[in-house]
Chains A and B, each alone.
Chain A
Amino acid sequence: MRNTIPAFEMDAHSGTAPTVRGVGIIRWACVAAPGRGWGHASLVARDAEGCWRAILDQLPVEQLLTGAVQVDPAASVLLPGRLDPALATLCVPLAAALAHADTLKGRQSLRFKRYDLAAALVHADLLRRANASSLLAPRVCVPEEGPLRVSTARALGAHVEDTAPQPTIESAPASAMMAGLAEVRAAVDIVAAQPWWFQPLVTGAMTLDELRAGGPSVLAEHVGVVVAA
């Protein structure tokens, strides 16, 4: 398996990155920003054989910042080489969003309480499904003020306003976005096949030092943030 950006291979043994016991070096973490505290990270790691893996654990971002990350290497899914490791960080939270989107089948309109990563993934997947089946996608409304979240919602066709139709859908909190190996494998296949549905959701990328310097508030501005460890 080879990733699409060779840089990750050559600097995989940087001594400055936090290690994942038994797996190797964390390369990217996708951070869901709940608007309070640091939030959680979904990890993508590269093992000693050059394979990229999406790791199921949702870790507190503080663990990334301190470098004390430990996860179970068995709880991981191999990634296809054509999948950008940065986008692969979306696969674990997407796996949970897929289940959430299943429960919304048939709705003509939805109102999310906010446009965080969880809500955006559900929205993107509903659009993807509608597009594949030539059905009308549900009308999505969301009250948001942050420019990046507003523009992401609008890019995917959502209406950003307060007077939205019912029912109201609470987007899944990041801590609850857990999924099994099978669901993550399905999510990997979806992102690898149609990455452009999900690329707009990555509204920021930074190094660990930049993340530390920005503080928790920087995450709340974004929909999804990718961190290079």
Chain B
Amino acid sequence: MTNPLVQAYRTHLHDLTPYQPGTAPPGGTTGRLSSNESSLGPAPAVRRAIRHIADQVHRYPSQHEARQTLAEHLQVPVSCVMLTNGSDELCYLIAALAVDQATTVVVPDPPYRIDEIASRLERGSVTRVPVRPDGSLDLRAMAAAATPGSVVWIPTPHNPTGVAACPRELEDLLDAVPKDALVVIDEAYRGFCDESLRPPTSQWVRQHGNLVVQRTFSKDYALAGLRAGYAVAAAETIQALDAIRPPFDLNVAACAAVVAALSEPGWRDHEALLIRRERAVLQRFLDDHHIGHYASQANFVAINFDHQRLAQPLASMGLTARAGEDLGLPGWTRVSIGTPQQMVLLRLALNEAITPSASPGAPT
């Protein structure tokens, strides 16, 4: 039976389903290719920093040093950055700041779920703009859907398709939307993109006061378990977001880890190179076997292959992937790029799924 209080106060959320995280195989997270996590794990400097911070956990955290280090890393004024408890917290803060009942919220279809959940929580009116057949965002249509006061969520590379937006089209969108529409460019997977698809968005905030660039330390910096994300925006926007941010939202371990991670970029670069290389190997394999997929620039690939057909071969290899229907891509499977060893097992599982009569695990 529905709680009458929930029924009374939350009618606009009645059909909202909770966010479902990726599942792990039985026995541990080793073979989890369903959550787009780092494959190498955190840098040695991060491990050291977390060990050392154990003596400080009785203190309330301060993100002052992490924010300063991040601003220097990004070459922006410290007043233009803020750290949050994962970039998902930033979604909720942006929605709390900029969305109300009169707001038209523009998201791609399929959307990144948290953008939509946060917007609906604030009673925004969500307009979904379908992605193009190649999985790319239809930025012209999204700009056209924006009205004065809108919030436009732009995840690039997009999750779940993995396709990155063309930098030129992003600039066009910023020029096309109403000047009081807030544009949020979510670059969670930026670290895995080709260089040409990494425009200097953190510098764009100088020209575009209505832009928030949203990034995370969860992916290429491998800090998903610590929850650290950040925003780059005009100082006035950061000031407003800071005002509604819960105090001490970034814990001491996360603050220390951010500083350490930024001090050791070689580890992140290595992981990104391995991911890009293994992503290309997988995409070539899929092409060779005539299996459809989007041209992902992220640390995952959406494969046009029914998860129900793939789940058992994956399980036999100790792996899990994400069912596309959970992400708005029914009939598809989203697979994270893991270690080279895991990717061999993935190719063996795909091979088995294509040819069910083959011996389990037989080489291709």
A and B assemble together? yes
Task: Spell out A's residues near B (CB within 8 Å).
Answer: 4-8, 10-11, 14-17, 84, 86, 127, 131, 147-148, 151-152, 154-157, 196-197, 199-200, 202-210, 226, 228-229
Which residues of B are found within 8 Å of A5, using beta-carbon distances? Answer: 30-31, 317-318, 345
Q: Is B344 an interface residue (CB 8 A)?
A: yes
A207 and B344 contact, CB distance less than 8 A: yes
Which residues of B are found within 8 Å of A209, using beta-carbon distances? Answer: 363-364
A11 and B28 contact, CB distance less than 8 A: no
Complex Cα distance A229/B363, Å?
7
- Given the interface pairs A4-B28, A6-B27, A131-B44, the reply to whether A205 lies near B317 with Cβ below 8 Å is no
Cβ 8 A contact of A228, one of B47, B318, B348: B348
Which residues of B from 328 to 359 have beta carbons under 8 Å from A? 339-341, 343-345, 347-348, 359
B363 and A228 contact, CB distance less than 8 A: yes
A10 and B361 contact, CB distance less than 8 A: yes
Q: Chain B's nearest CB lies how many Å from the CB of A82?
A: 10
Which residues of A are found within 8 Å of B61, using beta-carbon distances? Answer: none
A208 and B44 contact, CB distance less than 8 A: no
Q: Chain B's nearest CB lies how many Å from the CB of A172?
A: 23
Which residues of B are found within 8 Å of A10, using beta-carbon distances? Answer: 316, 360-361
21 sampled A-B residue pairs with Cβ under 8 A: A6-B27, A11-B359, A11-B361, A14-B359, A14-B363, A131-B48, A151-B274, A152-B270, A154-B269, A155-B43, A157-B264, A196-B40, A196-B41, A203-B340, A205-B340, A205-B343, A207-B344, A207-B363, A228-B345, A228-B348, A228-B363
Q: Is B277 an interface residue (CB 8 A)?
A: yes
B277 and A148 contact, CB distance less than 8 A: yes
Complex Cα distance A199/B340, Å?
10
Q: Chain A's nearest CB lies how many Å from the CB of B312?
A: 12
Complex Cα distance A8/B343, Å?
14
A84 and B270 contact, CB distance less than 8 A: no
Which 10 residue pairs are nearest across A and B when measured between Cβ atoms?
A: A11-B361, A155-B270, A205-B340, A154-B266, A7-B317, A86-B341, A207-B363, A5-B318, A151-B270, A205-B344
A205 and B41 contact, CB distance less than 8 A: no
Q: Is B5 an interface residue (CB 8 A)?
A: no
Cβ 8 A contact of A226, one of B40, B47, B341: B341
Which residues of B are found within 8 Å of A147, using beta-carbon distances? Answer: 273
Q: Is B6 an interface residue (CB 8 A)?
A: no
- Given the interface pairs A7-B345, A7-B361, A11-B362, the reply to whether A200 lies near B340 with Cβ below 8 Å is no
Complex Cα distance A196/B38, Å?
12
Q: Chain A's nearest CB lies how many Å from the CB of B192?
A: 14
Which residues of B are found within 8 Å of A157, using beta-carbon distances? Answer: 264, 266
Which residues of A are found within 8 Å of B269, using beta-carbon distances? Answer: 151, 154-155
Which residues of B are found within 8 Å of A84, using beta-carbon distances? Answer: 30, 341
Complex Cα distance A196/B47, Å?
10
Cβ 8 A contact of A208, one of B264, B274, B363: B363
Complex Cα distance A5/B345, Å?
10
Q: Chain B's nearest CB lies how many Å from the CB of A13?
A: 9
Q: Chain B's nearest CB lies how many Å from the CB of A55?
A: 18
B341 and A205 contact, CB distance less than 8 A: yes
Which residues of A are found within 8 Å of B153, using beta-carbon distances? Answer: none
A207 and B341 contact, CB distance less than 8 A: no
Q: Is B267 an interface residue (CB 8 A)?
A: yes
Which residues of A are found within 8 Å of B267, using beta-carbon distances? Answer: 155, 200
- Given the interface pairs A131-B44, A154-B270, A199-B41, the reply to whether A7 lies near B316 with Cβ below 8 Å is yes
Closest residue of B by beta carbon distance from A85: B341
Which residues of B are found within 8 Å of A6, using beta-carbon distances? Answer: 27, 316, 318
Closest residue of B by beta carbon distance from A211: B363
Which residues of B are found within 8 Å of A204, using beta-carbon distances? Answer: 277, 340
Q: Mark B244-271, 1 if CB is under 8 A from A, else 0.
A: 0000000000000000000010110111
- Given the interface pairs A5-B345, A16-B359, the reply to whether A210 lies near B364 with Cβ below 8 Å is yes
B344 and A206 contact, CB distance less than 8 A: yes
Which residues of B are found within 8 Å of A148, using beta-carbon distances? Answer: 273-274, 277
B340 and A16 contact, CB distance less than 8 A: no
Q: Chain B's nearest CB lies how many Å from the CB of A127?
A: 7
Closest residue of B by beta carbon distance from A199: B40
Which residues of A are found within 8 Å of B364, using beta-carbon distances? Answer: 207, 209-210
Closest residue of A by beta carbon distance from B264: A157
Extra A-B contacts (15), CB below 8 Å, given A148-B274, A205-B340: A5-B30, A5-B345, A6-B27, A7-B318, A7-B345, A7-B348, A10-B316, A14-B360, A86-B339, A127-B44, A155-B267, A196-B40, A197-B44, A199-B339, A203-B274
